[in-house]
């Protein structure tokens, strides 16, 4: 009888151990964190100064050249716009703040950016935001600095600017200045 009970006990333990399903769960959270990337960097030409030293400068103005260029890049994870605007309503004299010069004596032309961006043609400087870079429809212009490198060519008092030439305007000699802002924003 002991053998029979021992056999039943061993068989019972055997089937009990294998008869119950053993399961376990583990949760693995998976997340995707997309941080917005929106960076603008002025590479060169962060200070533009036009110097009128000759009658020819007054007559013809100062035309765009490598000396009067601002180069900037954009790195963006999404479509973007770049706006440009002057801080003041006019250029203001440094020696005498009552001396002013209209902003439209300066014009800018934007080039570059590859095939993903549309850039403006020649535009006179204003203190109202002017879009100078935007996505080219239907393309998207997000990308790295290699895809989004731009050049602003500046000119002053030429026949292409809204103000025209300076000869005969009787503008007081002074150093006229204003800050110009480049504003990068999502499209």
What whole-number distance in Å separates Cα of residue 70 and Cα of residue 151?
A: 6
Residues of 67-88 as b/e, b for ≥16 C-beta within 10 angstroms? ebbbbbbbbbeeebbbbbbbee
Please check the confidence at residue 167 and state whether its pLDDT lies above 60. Answer: yes
pLDDT digits (tens, 9 = 90+) for 54-99: 999 999 999 999 999 999 999 999 999 999 999 999 999 999 999 9
Question: Which domains occur in the chain, in start order?
Answer: 38-186 (2.60.40)
In this prediction, residue 178 has a pLDDT band, given cuts at 50, 70 and 90, of very high
Whole-model pTM: value is 0.83
Closest by Cα among 136, 127, 120 to 106: 127
Closest by Cα among 127, 131, 121, 45 to 80: 131
Q: Which two tokens stand for residue 107?
A: 């014009």
Q: Are 109 and 121 in contact (CB under 8 A)?
A: yes
Q: Are 144 and 104 in contact (CB under 8 A)?
A: no
pLDDT digits (tens, 9 = 90+) for 36-63: 999 999 999 999 999 999 999 999 999 9
Q: Are 139 and 115 in contact (CB under 8 A)?
A: yes
Residue 114's contacts (CB-CB under 8 Å, 6 or more residues apart) are 147, 148, 149
């Amino acid at each position: 009888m002991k053998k029979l009970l021992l056999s039943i006990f061993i068989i019972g333990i055997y089937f009990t151990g294998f008869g119950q399903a053993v399961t376990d769960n583990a949760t693995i959270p998976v997340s995707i964190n997309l941080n917005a990337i929106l960076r603008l960097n002025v590479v060169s030409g962060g200070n533009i100064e036009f110097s009128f030293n000759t009658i020819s400068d007054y007559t013809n103005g100062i035309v765009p050249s490598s000396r009067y260029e601002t180069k900037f890049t954009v790195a963006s994870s999404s479509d973007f716009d770049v706006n440009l605007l002057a801080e003041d309503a006019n250029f203001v004299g440094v020696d005498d703040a009552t001396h002013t010069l209209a902003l439209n004596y300066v014009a800018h032309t934007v080039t570059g950016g590859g095939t993903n961006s549309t850039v403006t043609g020649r535009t006179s400087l204003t203190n109202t935001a002017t879009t100078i870079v935007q996505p080219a429809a239907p393309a998207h212009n997000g990308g790295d600095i290699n895809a989004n490198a731009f050049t602003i060519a500046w000119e002053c008092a030429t026949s292409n600017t809204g103000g025209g030439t300076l000869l005969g305007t009787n503008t007081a000699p002074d150093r006229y200045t204003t800050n110009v802002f480049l504003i990068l924003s999502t499209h």
